[in-house]
Amino acid sequence: MLKQRVITAVALLLILVPTLVVPNPAPLALLSLILCALGAWEWGRLNELNFTKATLLGILCSLICLASWWLQVFSFANYYFWLFCSAAWVFIGISLLRVGPQGWLKVYKPLRLIGGVWALFATWLAINQAKAMSFNFLFSVFALVWVADIGAYFFGRAFGRRKLAPNISPGKSWEGVWGGVLAVFILCGVWIYVDRLRLTGGEGEVLNSSSQGLSFFSLIASKGLLIQIFALVFMVGMSVTGDLIESLVKRSVGAKDSSRLLPGHGGVLDRIDALLPTLPIAMFWSLL
């Protein structure tokens, strides 16, 4: 199992990294579109659609993304759109975690399907708008989610006592969450330091003040210490929320993974669940 996970992870990185680095936005747009379409297919299957109907849901998600690409929507970052997406994630996330797996099944199925497609589309749009800002910004958001997950895992294993959501994900603890927050704060400090070295050339004088090359961490730091602290804690909290919501949906239908598309890792949703809320919310913070 471990060998399979490593091989799949390396293969995914070999595909992902070149699309992030190249200036042309098309490769990343195509890759993220494919992943979102597969995620929509998995979402349909988790919500009791048969193979054909779930495939149509994936095609619908693809068409929405392609239409926005044709209209060049990704080129225009709108503060109110991302504010709406962020508020929706907070409201819906809290509501779903309160009702639990059984409450999820009582939600009107078309609303569940529409909500999943909307979340995937918003994530696709956020990825491409973040890439348009800079590689540094997009990669720093990815790193935030990855480091939060790693920190939560190790702190939870070492110090976890108080269960976070025992009815949804018994393995998660409050100690793990705060361990993830601590890891992200350390990452933030290091990343801001590297950004400053890059922008000042090590001379202490800013050579390039353009925000287009800044990371997410440097952008929120420029908005003040209180906003910086709150934004980091909030982002970690929402990454955990995304993970918990996917676990809630899987538990409601008795599924271990969202699919078997990624050997050793489960499905696409299993790998991007924490990114679904954090990428749109990162766009909101960047435009605040």
Asked whether the predicted pLDDT for residue 205 surpasses 60, the reply is no
First vs last C-alpha separation in the chain: 43
Bridge partners of 7? none
Q: Tokens 């990185």 map to which residue?
A: 13
Residue 23 three-state SS: coil
What are the pLDDT digits (tens) for 77-133? 789 999 999 999 999 999 999 999 989 989 999 999 999 999 999 999 999 999 999
| CA-based radius of gyration for the chain | 19
- Which domain covers residue 199, as residue numbers? 2-287
Q: Tokens 């109907």 map to which residue?
A: 53
pTM above 0.85, yes or no: yes
In degrees and rounded to multiples of 5, residue 207 shows phi and psi of -95, -25
Rounded Cα distance between 135 and 213, Å, is 8
Query: Looking at 49-63, 74-88, 190-204, which range is the least confident one?
Result: 190-204
Average pLDDT of span 222-245: 96
The total number of structural domains in the chain stands at: 1
Between 97 and 9, name the one with better pLDDT.
Answer: 97
Highest mean pLDDT among 18-32, 140-154, 209-223, 255-269: 140-154
